[in-house]
């Protein structure tokens, strides 16, 4: 079994300091959160840019500042920028970040309800738009799937040669309006992937650690972080992103799964080794 790649989703676009004061907003807070997560065992940082007051942005200049600052502190880490941004942003706005030519980015593979009146829109043409851009810029994509229909969309776009191998997926489960993160959901999704795919799981809220453990056992990879879940255990706020990463490392140890370094992660994912 490959070593375990841990991604830390340090901030997201929706969670706030009111939810958990450890959510990073400023460049300095993002650098510190990334560095601590890296020291704890994360090899990928899933990054959303924000302004100092917490407002999410896809502005390339803001991303550039944060991206460089994290790389200065953790030179070998993989930074995966978000092209999902925040609900309501247009695809042009969301794609601005790609002009900094990040090493890796998310590719959201379908539309879903996001609770209340919110809809996270990813039409087929949106997905093609983002995939084409990332292919041109040689950006490695992680295909975020919030339910099974999103995997089916990737299969369609693989046939059309829009989505290129090697395929790397992320199951983001437990979003209000998306698929839940029960064991049966995980098995169904994992068994629906094209052969030779790699995948990571991101359990939202209460699903974070149960899904992480399933992925550890079955040879998948894991994403944790305050973007997805603000608790270290039921009713207890996490003190930091790194505390969540540490908990995954303990689960990995329990199941004798070694943790991948950033270099090893690049090799596992078929990325150019930098």
| Chain residues in the site for Zn ion (CB under 5 A) | 82
Q: Which is nearer to ligand KMH, 12 or 262 (CB)?
A: 12
Distance, CA of 109 to CA of 130 (rounded, Å): 10
- Output the CA–CA distances (angstroms, integers) from residue 64 to 100, 137, 199, 262, in the order listed: 6, 16, 27, 20
Q: Does 63 bind ligand KMH (CB under 6 A)?
A: no
Interface segment toward ligand KMH; rule CB under 6 A; list 63-71, 82-90, 157-165, 251-259: 82-90
- Of 50, 36, 41, the residue nearest 7 (C-alpha): 41
Contacted entry of ligand KMH, Zn ion, none for residue 108, CB cut-off 5 to 8 Å set by kind: ligand KMH
Site string for ligand KMH, 107-126 (x = CB under 6 A): -x-----------x------
- With CB under 5 to 8 Å by kind, the binding choice for 241 among ligand KMH, Zn ion, none is none
Min. distance of Cβ 105 from ligand KMH in angstroms? Answer: 8
Packing angle, helices 208-218 and 183-190, rounded to 10: 40
Kindly state whether residue 225 participates in binding ligand KMH, applying the rule CB under 6 A.
no
Q: What is the CA radius of gyration of the chain?
A: 17
Distance CA 42, CA 76 (A): 11
Please select the residue that binds ligand KMH; options are 24, 41, 84, 225, rule is CB under 6 A: 84
User: Which residues lie closer than 8 Å to 190 by C-beta, 6 or more apart?
Assistant: 171, 199, 218, 220
- The distance of closest approach from Cβ of residue 94 to ligand KMH in the complex, given in angstroms and rounded to an integer, is 8
The maximal CA–CA distance of the chain, rounded, in angstroms, is 46
As measured in angstroms, the least distance from the Cβ of 130 to ligand KMH is 10
């Amino acid at each position: 079994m490959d070593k375990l790649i841990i991604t830390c989703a340090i901030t997201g676009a929706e969670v706030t300091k009111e939810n958990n004061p450890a959510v990073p907003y400023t460049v300095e807070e993002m650098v510190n959160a990334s560095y601590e997560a890296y020291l704890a065992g994360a090899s990928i940082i899933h990054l959303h840019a924000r302004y100092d007051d917490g407002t999410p942005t896809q502005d390339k200049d803001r991303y550039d500042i944060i991206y460089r600052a994290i790389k200065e502190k953790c030179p070998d880490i993989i930074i995966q920028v978000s092209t999902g941004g925040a609900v309501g942003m247009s695809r042009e706005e969301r794609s601005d970040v790609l002009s900094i030519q990040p090493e890796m980015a998310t590719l959201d593979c379908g539309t879903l309800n996001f609770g209340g009146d919110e809809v996270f829109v990813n039409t087929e043409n949106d997905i093609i738009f983002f995939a084409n851009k990332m292919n041109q810029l040689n950006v490695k994509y992680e295909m975020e799937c919030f339910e099974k229909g999103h995997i089916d969309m990737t299969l369609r776009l693989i046939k059309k040669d829009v989505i290129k191998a090697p395929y790397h997926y992320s199951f983001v489960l437990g979003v209000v309006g998306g698929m839940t993160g029960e064991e049966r959901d995980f098995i169904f999704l994992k068994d629906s992937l094209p052969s030779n795919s790699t995948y990571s799981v991101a359990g939202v809220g209460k699903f974070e650690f149960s899904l992480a453990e399933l992925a550890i056992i079955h040879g998948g990879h894991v994403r944790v972080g305050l973007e997805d879940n603000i608790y270290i255990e039921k009713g207890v706020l996490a003190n930091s992103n790194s505390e969540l990463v540490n908990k995954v490392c303990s689960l990995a140890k329990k199941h004798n799964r070694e943790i991948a370094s950033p270099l090893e992660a690049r090799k596992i994912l078929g990325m150019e080794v930098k």
